[in-house]
Structure 1
């Protein structure tokens, strides 16, 4: 794809559209617009509507939105809600990411009123909603295939093709050389801001779409209302003028490898240094121990992280960035959810829920864990065993937190320096540190101290 998006031409195309596809109504706000302040202490939740309940509907998920407040959730990312293409589809139900119409609702999940009620319920509970947006490709049933074949990438034989270099045979690749397609995409995104009052988008494989499309599109979306934009991408250039947050894939990979004994604290330190080098100070990265791709294709948290699971979860909250909870994670889900078939989460509270409650409260209330555009500082603290022991402090506006973790599968004796009285966050015990302190941590043990 050639990157030839001209702002002036796009503006002319958009201005020439006199007949919108659907009548759009303005939905009154019940919550203040999303802001940088909200992002500082937010937890984001990924909602898999199909698998969240036996019914697999918006209504059933909406019933549980008040419960998410207990976990400190402030942003709900809803996986694709649109009708799924049946042509060349995979499995019985197909992929959420093979969309047949950007401005319709998958009838399996409910209807437009159900979507609006989901958003309204979230807003009433102090949460924002972003929709999953798939801009790189559509399903083979999409109306554009018939009405606008010029919107798609074609091979040497002149036939529309799926995205080159992938096995995504159930989708047709969009051609971003076509300016009118870009304008249509923008209008479809605006539709959801105006019709359902959503607060932004999580954009699938955002790095596979030209950056200038995102920059111009986000600028236009912000003329409708303030939006939060999450890129399923790591590229720093996407966060200069388009996205608020990207995926911290390499941080996640370090967690997986450390949990398996394949890497050490040094690799974590190298990753933290890499972030400082690659990203601007006000860029936000999303931390996670699981998501829909990891769970379905690479394994459950327990499969990938084993006994290190809880430590890595705590680390995803305490490290700079915004932590993610994926549907079922809060219920100790230890199975790979089917991706192209109906499956169900067993919603029984176990060990993880209370941990997420505590971590969510800490994230929401302690500025030392601010992870937005004005994030708390991150300072690495050395010990006598920097190969296995990770110690760092986070600090902002007089609030300070110290994370100590044994990132190994063996018991470690170590010494580090710390002064003053601190509170063990999980036990609420007071601990007086005075200079050199000797500690013994069990395998994968961690502690969080509030200073």
Structure 2
């Protein structure tokens, strides 16, 4: 067993534009993060992952970088960042940057040069092609709908963008461009950052020749993930990045790699691969999406049996071979308690249950800002209240296809990325204490009830439960390195598993729904003494019997001996 600091750490993701504003412009800033470092330290956080803060036109909330070496003035200055780094380190916390290596902004100097002429030296920093018989160079569909190709009338060629047309893809076959990225990464590491989350890293290599994807329905554009996601040469590129730069520093790395299972993940994170420390998997993020190819916007009911199957595969496959990155929400996903819990009657209980789940699995836990107080989906009624480019594109496409507006809005209320991007709810004052100005996106109306100030005052709050869980994880190494074993695999309501390290066994019991199922104590565990470590309910007197009636969204963690 290879013990290391990033396996034992708890990570807190900050979406800076929505975290804390100190200058009244309605957008969060670096000084705002600095002002909340003591709050994060008190919570029990070890690593702060900050979404992109680089110079950017903001067409995709900072994931369109125009200068890798500069801080977006909306967030502050490089001096502010240096202060943040110093202040975090002084408190024993580390800073992980969010870095986009698949694409840049169309305002990046490289791209401006690249599009200036077909023979510019930086032309091949990006992916350019001529059209074919008046059509796009191929039939690939963008993640944000429409073609991945955008015509540049000045040079009469198309450039590729897997995401927005304002985010042209870099050409990783160009060694000069790759070398420039290496230099930039080393510059940040020399400054003292403690790791990177590599955005869309699975897409940096595209299929040779950029062939058309299969298109049985003869659509204008089709999903072609198999031609630009997780291709074999990605591993060559990551090994080289490790050898040339990353291995010289004691840092943590996590990759965003959609569309793979745990066996494929080991190709990225296997102990002997020397590529990444961990990857974010997306299998559990698609359980509530229709499986008919219509994408994330068409929802379906997920089942606990499906969730157990997915999570158990990742837990068992990576054990002693790689490492998991565990999460239920982030800046690209709906709020966890609205998606996997009950954000109405049982918001507090279900948020605590989900915290128990995430913090007792093998892998590094990632907490998204506001999860620790049980923030919920905003579910705005008007499309004008949304800001996310993906959401707005979906609304426009749905309108063109003649879908009913109420059906479209229902999908957006459930799945829009803006659900996670509303301002952090600090108190019950104006704009939830986030800003003295007008926020860039509306505050969730429930901030008067759901906010940090009231959570800190309430000893039974979700916030204090997170503190206890994070402390518990640090106290029991079995919750970090212990082997996961699923119990009651066919139970449709209860998720029960053990974490075992040498002679230390931890039992986790989770009721994922609002009913009251009876759990028969597993025969293999009878006769062992039970020490209740934590629960999200006060336990009744008969809690130690062999037949346990669980209450809605109940969570219990026992130490067995």
Q: Cα offset for 1:316? A: 1.1
- Superposed, 1:187-202 pairs within 5 Å as 187-194=183-190, 196-202=191-197
Q: Cα offset for 1:129? A: 1.1
**CA distance in structure 1 between the partners assigned to 2:275 and 2:20 by the alignment:** 34
Q: Cα offset for 1:59? A: 1.4
Residue deviations 1:45-93 (CA, integer Å, cap 9, x gap): 11111111133111121121122122221111111110113xxx63xxx
Secondary structure of the equivalent of 1:319? coil
Instruction: Determine if the alignment matches structure 1 residue 216 to structure 2 residue 240.
Output: yes
Q: Tell me whether 180-189 or 349-358 shows the greater mean CA deviation.
A: 349-358
2:127 to 153, 159, 163: 153
Residue deviations 1:253-308 (CA, integer Å, cap 9, x gap): 55999xx993444323422453267546332222222100004xxx5632553244
Residues 413 and 441 of structure 1 are in contact (CA less than 8 Å); yes or no, is this contact kept in structure 2?
yes
Secondary structure of the equivalent of 2:11? strand
1:315 to 352, 357, 360: 357
Q: Give the TM-score of the pair, scaled to structure 1.
A: 0.79
Residue deviations 1:82-135 (CA, integer Å, cap 9, x gap): 0113xxx63xxx521000011111111111111111111121211211110100
**CA distance in structure 1 between the partners assigned to 2:3 and 2:244 by the alignment:** 19
**CA distance in structure 1 between the partners assigned to 2:11 and 2:473 by the alignment:** 11
Change (3 A) 1:277 1:450: closer
Higher relative contact order (CA 8 A, sep 6+): 1
**CA distance in structure 2 between the partners assigned to 1:255 and 1:62 by the alignment:** 37
Equivalent in the alignment of 1:25: none
- Superposed, 1:322-361 pairs within 5 Å as 322-336=364-378, 339=388, 344-347=423-426, 348-349=451-452, 350=455, 351-361=461-471
Structure that is richer in strand per residue = 1
Q: Give the TM-score of the pair, scaled to structure 2.
A: 0.65
Q: Tell me whether 75-84 or 392-401 shows the greater mean CA deviation.
A: 392-401
- Superposed, 1:3-402 pairs within 5 Å as 36-55=3-22, 56-85=28-57, 90=59, 94-147=60-113, 148-157=122-131, 159-164=157-162, 166=163, 168-194=164-190, 196-209=191-204, 210-233=234-257, 234=260, 235-236=264-265, 237-239=267-269, 240-253=273-286, 262-275=301-314, 279=318, 281-295=320-334, 299=335, 301-303=337-339, 305-306=341-342, 307=346, 308-336=350-378, 339=388, 344-347=423-426, 348-349=451-452, 350=455, 351-370=461-480, 375-382=481-488, 386-402=491-507
**CA distance in structure 2 between the partners assigned to 1:274 and 1:303 by the alignment:** 21
**CA distance in structure 1 between the partners assigned to 2:321 and 2:165 by the alignment:** 38
Q: Tell me whether 45-54 or 305-314 shows the greater mean CA deviation.
A: 305-314
**CA distance in structure 1 between the partners assigned to 2:502 and 2:89 by the alignment:** 29
**CA distance in structure 2 between the partners assigned to 1:136 and 1:284 by the alignment:** 23
Runs of at least 5 residues in structure 2 that lack an aligned partner in the other structure: 23-27, 114-121, 132-155, 205-233, 291-298, 379-385, 390-417, 427-450, 456-460
Equivalent in the alignment of 1:22: none
**CA distance in structure 2 between the partners assigned to 1:421 and 1:432 by the alignment:** 15
**CA distance in structure 1 between the partners assigned to 2:492 and 2:372 by the alignment:** 31
